[in-house]
Structure 1
Amino acid sequence: MMISSWKRRRAARRAGKLEQKRNENGEMELTIPRDFRCPISLDLMKDPVTLSTGITYDRENIEKWIEAGNFTCPITNQVLRSFELIPNHMIRKRIQDWCVENQSYGVERIPTPRVPVSSMDVLEILSKINATCKKQDGEGCRDLVVKIKSLAKESERNKRCIVTNGAGSVLSEALEAFSRAPFDENVEVLEEILSALTIMFPFDEEAKGFLGSSSAMHCLIWFLSSGDLSGRRNAVLALRELVSSSDQRKVNELSEMEGAIEALFKLIKDPICPTSTKASLTVIYHIITSPSTNEKQVAKLVNLGLVSLLLETLVETERGMSEKALGVLDGICNSEEGREMAYNNALSMPVLVKKILRVSNLATDFSVSILWKLCKNERREDGGVLVEALQVGAFQKLLLLLQLGCVDKTKENVSELLKLLNLHRNKIECVDPMDNFKDLKRPF
């Protein structure tokens, strides 16, 4: 009797490891043992580490706790004597064994976590990259960049550590250093550096300074024009970061580089992915809205067919793309050539009116601004675009916008537009704005 009782207790202890219970349907459920749960998230720990207080947490959760400015143990509330996180191999091994034992319940074994990269490790690699740049050792630099990129991709924690220790600036300096030589001699190392840079966003001002050098920008344009799909994507992402600085001289220098405008346009015409298309639109927006941009650059974009391309893109697209495309179109319509192209495109009025109050406040502001520029500069006696706008319900949309409210500048444009449109209301019977695209023949 005692032996059978002992066997039952031993079986109960083993069952306790599984902590099974029946759900409402009477089916057995598997509950994670308490010791295996992170005290912060209550989820199964994937990388258990122990604090100086002796409490074990999942590494990702406790790192977020400390990075948020907390200097105490979440459970004991004791002030931490040290921020060192000691891997708890015993708990991790027990968790892995438990996962294997319960594979029949759909539990997957957690992988043995890699040791996170330290600041000392990162600084050592970056120092070696600097040394290879001075020696113009492209192969050696490439191997080091591959290593640091691999570490960054292992975990978000590694990436933060790498970025915090100035990898963006070091890699930008390396790109600038190797771009001084003919590109065909250093294509492989430059390609690898550019790929790694896209993981280091956002860039600090020092990194932008290296990327803004003449040789580095020529390198980026070369990849934008002649690189493979990955190289073109990475180049436009780097250019997007570069133009976000307040240095308008770099934007103007970029716009005047041979092949830059054409390559940016091609990324929109023959898109690689939505991210690269948005990045290209962002770069173009900074170029055409720069106070000292050469009008020839805007004219070049217009002659390439950007106005029609933007309108076609705007017919059906998501919010982010709509906002960027409308922003570029608004900038282009500051020029006479841009407005002329918009006048001659049958999509202009239907698209612009449809976007009002349909996408976002920013898209509405851009749409109204473009309408205002087109209508204000209308020269035809028959009303031209004003009549077209009335036909697709612009008057009702603008009245509704005034009632709902908008920023002061948009409100001024709406008020002036309503006055201009009102002069031609007797010429046309407005249709339902929901039918903006009904029976419309697209010019492409």
Structure 2
Amino acid sequence: MILSWRKKRAARRAAKKQNLEVTSNMELTIPSHFRCPISLELMKDPVTLSTGITYDRDSIEKWIEAGNSICPVTNQVLRSFEPVPNHTLRMMIQDWCVEKRSYGIERIPTPRIPISSYEVSEILSGIQTAKDQQDAERCREMVLKIKELAKDSERNKRCISANGTGGVLAAAFKTFSKVPFEQNVALLEEILSALITISPLDGEAKSYLGSDSSLHCMVWFLKNGNLSGRRNSVLALIEIVSSDQQKIDELLEIGGAIEALVKLMKEPISPSTTKASLLLMYHIVSNPPSSANSKVIARLTEMELVKILFEMLVDCEKSICEKALGVLDEVCSYDEGMEKAYGNALTVPVLVKKLLRISDLATQFSVSILWKLCKNDKSEGGDVLVEALQLGAFQKLLLLLQVGSTDGTKEKTTELMKLMNVYRDRAECTDSLDFKNLKRSY
């Protein structure tokens, strides 16, 4: 009996396999009313416009975001830009997918309903009430809710950002960051994370974040926060200082701010944090030359910033390389920065290696730094020029002139080659492109 049952089961499986092979060779036709008129693909989230035509949500939203105000099919002006979910058609499409599963068609999941402006307003009202009542726990619940909704889809994020969420969250951050704020650390971390999620921020949000209490709180996170807290603080500070240079001076007056930033570069926690730290540092060092900025550069060089950057440049990705070279270019505009660069064994080898190797921007910064160092080289034998020649800088600079560059870079390249030409008969020119024989300074 058992043997007979096994034979029947094997026969059923063989028949099923044969049917699958037959159906796989047959052409599957998707019903026309299941296709989006724009993408011509099976709709996953069908929505109907005010004109009565149904589209896939993703396709029609891209159409509207591109600035179109008419229905693609009827050319009628849209009375409303809010598409209505077509649940009946969606369920028909799902049933069809289940019916055709033998063709390898998977059932489309039921889409989540996007958040509306009214729902955003309700949540923001809850955050404002909790802020006024100093109810940190309730405020945190609302912030977590809006952060999750923003992460759910790009459409949600756009809707949340467009309804003044940045200003409300930043105002709450300012209120709860007033000393002592240690008891509100969990809430402040969530607000900062939510703000970064919906960035870029508007002027109102930046104004609240640029307050004295908010800046002190973010510096505290830079020094004592967890990994995400430190990363989000750097990103928020970039938003602030990029639109208001005066905030840089206020930031630098806060004890431990610049030390914490340098530590993030010396002991990196993630590539995104390193990029953000370098970008914030660039805003700091690229201030117009002044006695105050000279003191900042002196502090940074004392903290071995030049050494940290060159060691970072030995092996890093393109974006980090460009930002690190940008910071070095600004630092080497000051005597303190050049002095540290002269004393670092990696300086010339790294700069020559980056020429024509990473990107146009990296080459531009490398030429600028080399030009500053060679032009101000006070050694009797032109040590920097000779070392650059020995590493093949002259050939690279010559090639750079041939392939083209910006006017400023071209002028610096020409001047560099004139300076190097004096030592060409005394220096062996080799085209070295690696660090095989280079001893690092650490």
Q: How far is the alpha carbon of 1:98 from its aligned partner?
A: 2.3
Question: What is the aligned partner in structure 1 of residue 76 from structure 2?
Answer: 78
**Pair 1:429 & 2:428 matched:** yes
**Pair 1:289 & 2:286 matched:** yes
Question: What is the aligned partner in structure 2 of residue 319 from structure 1?
Answer: 318
- In structure 2, distance between residues paired with 1:265 and 1:107: 53
Q: Secondary structure at the match of 1:43?
A: coil
| Equivalent residue runs for 1:208-357 within 5 Å | 208-245=206-243, 247-291=244-288, 292=290, 293-357=292-356
Q: How far is the alpha carbon of 1:378 from its aligned partner?
A: 0.8
Question: What is the aligned partner in structure 1 of residue 368 from structure 2?
Answer: 369
Give, as a single letter, the amino acid of the residue that structure 2 aligns with 1:272.
I
Task: Tell me the matched-pair count.
Answer: 421
Q: How far is the alpha carbon of 1:326 from its aligned partner?
A: 0.3
Match 2:189 to one of 188, 191, 197: 191
| 8 Å CA contact 1:21, 1:30 repeated in 2 | no
1:32 to 1:313, Cα distance in 2 relative to 1, 3 A:
farther
1:30 to 1:297, Cα distance in 2 relative to 1, 3 A:
farther
| 8 Å CA contact 1:307, 1:329 repeated in 2 | yes
In the superposition, the TM-score normalised over structure 1's length comes to 0.90
Match 1:132 to one of 130, 133, 150: 130
Cα offsets for 1:405-433 (capped at 9, x unmatched)? 22222122112211211121121110014
Q: Secondary structure at the match of 1:76?
A: coil
Cα offsets for 1:153-184 (capped at 9, x unmatched)? 11111100100111111111111111113121
- In structure 2, distance between residues paired with 1:196 and 1:206: 16
Give, as a single letter, the amino acid of the residue that structure 2 aligns with 1:391.
Q
Question: What is the aligned partner in structure 2 of residue 13 from structure 1?
Answer: none
Q: How far is the alpha carbon of 1:124 from its aligned partner?
A: 2.2
Deviates more, 1:105-114 or 1:45-54: 105-114
Deviates more, 1:390-399 or 1:403-412: 403-412
Percent identity over paired residues: 63
Question: What is the aligned partner in structure 1 of residue 152 from structure 2?
Answer: 154
Q: How far is the alpha carbon of 1:28 from its aligned partner?
A: 4.1
Question: What is the aligned partner in structure 1 of residue 9 from structure 2?
Answer: none
- In structure 2, distance between residues paired with 1:283 and 1:22: 62
- In structure 1, distance between residues paired with 2:362 and 2:183: 45
Q: Which runs of 5+ in 1 are unaligned?
A: 1-19
1:389 to 1:22, Cα distance in 2 relative to 1, 3 A:
farther
Question: What is the aligned partner in structure 2 of residue 41 from structure 1?
Answer: 39
| 8 Å CA contact 1:133, 1:174 repeated in 2 | yes
Q: How far is the alpha carbon of 1:30 from its aligned partner?
A: 4.1
Q: Which runs of 5+ in 2 are unaligned?
A: 1-19
- In structure 2, distance between residues paired with 1:41 and 1:105: 22
Alpha-carbon RMSD across the aligned residues, in angstroms, is 2.0
Please list every run of at least 4 consecutive aligned residues from structure 1 whose deviation after the TM superposition is greater than 6 angstroms: 20-23
Q: How far is the alpha carbon of 1:297 from its aligned partner?
A: 2.4
- In structure 2, distance between residues paired with 1:22 and 1:361: 56
Cα offsets for 1:226-249 (capped at 9, x unmatched)? 01111111111111211211x221
- In structure 1, distance between residues paired with 2:339 and 2:81: 64
Q: Secondary structure at the match of 2:435?
A: coil
- In structure 1, distance between residues paired with 2:27 and 2:315: 47
